[in-house]
Structure 1
């Protein structure tokens, strides 16, 4: 896992810690409840990536206190609120006084969209987000989460395409909350998540107040992170480093 982490950092020229996602039946030593960092799970994950002093984070059915209701369902711990289809679309007078996010055109479209995901299940009693340095030898890693600027995500995306044949089915920018982009999709917790695909986002604008404007996230399933590690030396990142990360640049935008 250390080698994979180093390859992700090098490939993306990352200055933010990549994180791992895995399931556990016991709380890892030193880990803290995910929502003790922030009510928003995705925000807490970003904070953990940025801050070396934040230990591994865990969440389970017995540690949901203080968590966003949406994250509870998107991580597979509770059933979605029956009014969520209205909240993300046009609103309902029986939920939050009609407040709506207007992310989907109608409740019916949201329902059909949600059907495509299938059931969401966690990989263990607890879902754990951890830096590689905090892993134990038996951690069953499902995916990695990387945060980077536009150039970082572009280069990681190009490296993911290194061995691909179909140019259209390797990288996806799917609809969903930020926690789905970071965790649910890449860890393949949603029943119908495609295999052989990484996920870029988040596309949820409700996180724009805290997610850096010039950054994106990439969720990478473990098997694809292994391929990145294997391909790095023969790719453009190693063979043409000044193309990947130019020392001299043209400035066409002031």
Structure 2
């Protein structure tokens, strides 16, 4: 079974997880569609940046969802369109992300990588990036339609304690102590959409992705806020383990009333 084939009640699953982990931000579902759901907004109607739009959607009940597709362009972040497979990656990015070059964006640079070569090889390591369908849709889990679409992944925003606890539940049924939860390099939209949604050829399909490791988003995310993107099949595993785990059996450990 592939992620595309998964049909589960993610409305109920997300609601249970949100309650157990005391989340105030709405869990979000990532999926592909061949037609745009009529009630969701084109990305630039919320914000040009995918990550900013997702955070606003999670925290503002007035935002019904967002989509991008092959015709998205003006008003959308070009990097976000590249990171979700809707346009080729610009060769300029490896300079802008690292040390800059005088003839690219007037020499502006983000200094997020040591060199253009390291940046280029980091992007190459992802493998091919493929959209999940004609359109990429992200919407609150509570608004998922019937029949439920083939959800690729879920995205959660919370404080550090909440996200740490979610990571602990990912580890609950695993023997491997290292790879079930990864803090990957890349733009925030990759952490919460591209990697967990299986849009990249080489991203592990059974790992959750925590972060984002993207300082450019610190102007948007409150200092205490973290995010975690989790593949659909891992979410189903977490839901199955929930009642046997610390989060239900020992909630006072997960959320202590007294601090040392």
Please give the TM-score of this superposition, normalised by the length of structure 1. 0.96
Measure how far apart 1:61 and its partner are: 1.6
For the pair 1:180 / 2:177, whether they are aligned, the reply is no
Q: How many residues align?
A: 250
For the pair 1:213 / 2:185, whether they are aligned, the reply is no
Distance 1:2 1:90 in 2: 44
- Deviation string, structure 1 residues 54-100 (Cα, Å, up to 9, x no partner): 11211112133201111110111111111111111110111111111
Indicate which of 203, 206, 211 corresponds to 1:201.
Answer: 211
Q: State the Cα RMSD in Å.
A: 1.0
Aligned pairs for 1:8-19 within 5 A: 8-19=17-28
Indicate which of 65, 85, 103 corresponds to 2:74.
Answer: 65
Indicate which of 169, 180, 186 corresponds to 1:170.
Answer: 180
Distance 1:64 1:42 in 2: 17
| Structure 1 segments unaligned to the other structure (5+ residues) | none
Partner of 1:61, secondary structure, is coil
- The 8 Å contact of residues 49 and 77 in structure 2, kept in 1 or not, is answered as yes
Aligned pairs for 1:1-254 within 5 A: 1-136=10-145, 137-250=147-260
Distance 1:75 1:42 in 2: 12
Distance 2:120 2:257 in 1: 49
| Structure 2 segments unaligned to the other structure (5+ residues) | 1-9
Distance 1:36 1:5 in 2: 26
Distance 1:69 1:29 in 2: 24
Measure how far apart 1:239 and its partner are: 0.6
- The 8 Å contact of residues 89 and 110 in structure 1, kept in 2 or not, is answered as yes
Distance 2:16 2:219 in 1: 30
- The 8 Å contact of residues 23 and 127 in structure 1, kept in 2 or not, is answered as yes
Moved over 2 A (4+): 247-250
Partner of 1:67, secondary structure, is coil
